[in-house]
Amino acid sequence: MSGFLWNAAAFIVALGILVAIHEFGHFWVARRCGVKVERFSIGFGRALWRKFGKDGTEYVIAAIPLGGYVKMLDERIEAVPEADKPLAFNNQPLWQRSAIVAAGPVANFIFAVFAYWLIMMIGVPAVKPVIGEIAPNSIAAEAGIEPGMELTQVSGVETADWQAVNFALIGHIGDESMTLTAKPAPTSSYDRDYQLDLGRWQFNPEKQSPLTTLGITPYRPAITLSIAQVVEGSAAEQAGLKQGDKIIAVGDTELSSWQRLVEVIKASPNQGLSLMVMREGQRESVVLTPDARQVDGKVTGYAGIAPQLEAWPESYRFTQQYGPLAAIPEAVQKTGQVISMTVNMIKKLITGDVGVNNLSGPISIAKGAGMTAEIGLISFLGFMALISVNLGIINLLPLPVLDGGHLLFFGIEAVTRRPVSERVQDFGYRIGAAVLMMVMAVALFNDFARL
């Protein structure tokens, strides 16, 4: 229950900020164009808070935090006094009306740049994308990629860390081929291109990593037999195991790897295991009785311990951090990459190269908001930047109920030199609303299917 509340709170905060920024874009440009704004609302439904500004605008926070709107004076909606007609939206020049409508998505893109700028300024600890293993007969193996190589680019996009690699790979879902650029080793001064045939690439974003489906396993420091963490209230804590203990044997059998210990624990739910541990230079005997847990229909043992890893090589570690000015082009470039990937994915959804099961709705977004907020500010900012870009692009789709639909009508008006008729606009709104509801229904179905 606490997890649900945390996700809901993070979702409301994230969506509230992003909607406010989107609607503020419309509001700010409308005011600059001399249009009278009657209401600025974050959310729909019953007003939880309202205030009237000196400018006559009613500012509202409403009960349903799934959107918002800016209500402008408009003769098409209600009668307007003769004195106020110059302030009505519909009486403004075409370029001003277009600017007001486009300002919402543009504000979302600007926020994404700002969020990435903050991230670049704060700095992100990262590791170089060095390959640990390549699965035999995999797509990567057939392309000639080998363990120990460092991936430097994915189809021309620079990849400083594994997050950048994953992000770039996802953009190639549905493609026939892809180019990976790699150094033979992190210390090498040259690299070369490898062409990957994606014809048999099967990738489920909800359950699989794009790396593992290509046959690539990132390098990780070796796992030791020492305990890094003991979960509070777990079977390990009840047995007396402590952080820093080194488990050297189970019964009379010496352990050769942590993985072997995991296998023994999983196979022994509710069964006592005699462990030999090394603690502060002394051998001690501990009896561990793993808890029983249901995993994929099978009962397995669970101890509640995590292992220590050997230190990362210093040459693999770095911090992505820039000064205030240097961070600006980096943030713009990152936002551009996200926009490009999002547009590409929408195009693939339309053409059928990517299945509609990849669509996500508010439940998935809430889970993502809660998870990233729990990790920390950097992750939450990155998540908000990603959703902000998606919000901006979706609003630019040429559906009449969205900003892009209004811009489509304005484009027709620019060509024909007369506004689109009310009848055509009304028909378009009905079609647009039906398409949007259908997409939302599919996204919600996917959300529930993932629970």
Question: For residue 315, is pLDDT > 90?
Answer: no
Cα separation, 337 vs 332, whole angstroms: 9
Cα separation, 8 vs 432, whole angstroms: 29
List, for residues 111-160, the tens digit of each pLDDT value: 999 999 999 999 888 889 999 999 999 999 999 999 999 999 999 888 98
Question: For residue 370, is pLDDT > 80?
Answer: no
The pLDDT, as a whole number, for residue 274 is 92
List, for residues 373-431, the tens digit of each pLDDT value: 666 788 888 889 988 999 999 999 988 888 999 999 999 989 998 888 888 888 888 88
- Which whole-number Å values give the CA distances from 248 to 158, 219, 258, 278, 382, in the listed order? 43, 25, 10, 7, 41
Question: For residue 345, is pLDDT > 70?
Answer: yes
- The pLDDT-based confidence of 358 (bands split at 50, 70, 90) is low
Q: How confident is the model over 24-40, as a mean pLDDT?
A: 93
Name the one residue in this structure whose structure tokens are 């370029």: 95
Cα separation, 5 vs 370, whole angstroms: 9
Question: For residue 12, is pLDDT > 60?
Answer: yes
- The pLDDT-based confidence of 189 (bands split at 50, 70, 90) is confident
Q: 190: part of which helix (H) or strand (E)?
A: none
Evaluate the CA torsion angle 378, 383, 384, 390 in order and state its sign. Answer: positive
Instruction: Give the Cβ contact number of residue 94 at 10 Å.
Output: 13
The pLDDT, as a whole number, for residue 163 is 85
The residues, any chain, with a CB within 8 Å of residue 304's CB and separated by 6 or more, are 230, 231, 233, 234, 235, 236, 237, 291
Cα separation, 225 vs 259, whole angstroms: 9
The pLDDT, as a whole number, for residue 27 is 93
Beta strands in 396-446 (DSSP E): none
Evaluate the CA torsion angle 339, 345, 346, 351 in order and state its sign. Answer: positive
Question: For residue 443, is pLDDT > 80?
Answer: no
Between 17 and 371, the more confident residue is 17
Instruction: Give the Cβ contact number of residue 388 at 10 Å.
Output: 27
Between 166 and 353, the more confident residue is 166
Q: Would you name the residues annotated as active-site residues?
A: 23
Beta strands in 30-86 (DSSP E): 37-52, 58-72
Report field, pTM of the whole predicted structure over 0.75: yes
The pLDDT, as a whole number, for residue 362 is 60
Question: For residue 361, is pLDDT > 60?
Answer: no
- Which whole-number Å values give the CA distances from 270 to 101, 230, 235, in the listed order? 63, 18, 10
Please provide the average confidence, as pLDDT, over all residues in the chain: 87
Question: For residue 1, is pLDDT > 60?
Answer: no
Q: What is the DSSP letter of 320?
A: E
